[in-house]
Amino acid sequence: MSVLVDLNGQHAIVTGGSTGLGLATTERLLASGARVSTWDVSGGISDELQRRYSGRVRSLDVDVTCTDAVRAGLAEAVESFGPPQILINNAGVSGPNAPTWEYDEEAWRRTLEVNLTGPFLCAKAVIPYMLNTNYGRIVNISSVSGKDGNAMICAYAASKAGLISLTKSLGKELATTGVRVNCVTPGAIRTAIFDRWPQDYVDSLVAKIPMGRFGLPEELAAMVAWLCSSDASFSTGAVFDLSGGRAVY
């Protein structure tokens, strides 16, 4: 049986929170008592989830790559649920699957905008609220690809490496405050994003995992929830591996 952390009364913002890993995280935080604002451009959360957690979850259409959209989304979220104590930077795109020398330049820019600039803009907007109360939890969802790089997805790997570095920088900058910033680096966790990749590439990913299976979205959500709790008080700027034994460094 899963053990739920206590997030009662806290307001969490989850980017990319209506599908995949973001949805699993949203559900876990709601089950832990939080109020959740999901920011997504791919659609809102289900009516069933709205009914189950009536009054505690709201879906907003926010493009995390746009400063004005982030500011507007934050203002609307604060009006609904008050200042945020939690930010989950989960929104991301995989980009195309191609050798670096054949990689489309616009796809490169778009991937870095969503996966790295987006978390920067969201953190920049939310941190002043957290500093005002001297408490906050920011969790960035990176990838094991950001640790070792992966062939054929250079933009994705580079953006996730940058997100690890952003986590470390923020962790040091905020270390003497009550705001903690950490990063999770999942390995291959089966979501819809895999449907865009060639099967032989997907097979190569699972072959790297000592456990011999893909991770589950619920397993990621459990780790994220703990990092959002007050118990995660002496970890900041840290990188938490979730890769089924595929340790890189």
Give alpha helix (H) positions in 46-96. 47-52, 67-81
**Spatial CA neighbour of 207 closest among 242, 240, 246, 249:** 246
Q: What does the H/E/C string look like for 155-213?
A: HHHHHHHHHHHHHHHHHHHCCCCCEEEEEEEECCECCHHHHHCCHHHHHHHHHCCCCCC
Where are the strands (E) in 27-73, listed by range? 35-40, 57-61
* Active-site position among 53, 103, 129, 156: 156
137-142-146 Cα angle (round to 5): 140
Tokens 């969490």 sit on residue: 12
With residue 181 as reference, give the H or E element that holds it.
strand 179-186
**Spatial CA neighbour of 90 closest among 18, 151, 30:** 18
Query: Would you call 27 helix, strand, or coil by DSSP?
Result: helix
With residue 184 as reference, give the H or E element that holds it.
strand 179-186
Name 141's bridge partners. 184
Active site residue 156: yes
Contact predicate 20/217, CB 8 Å: yes
Which is it for the CA torsion 15, 18, 24, 28, positive or negative? positive
Q: List residues with catalytic annotation.
A: 156
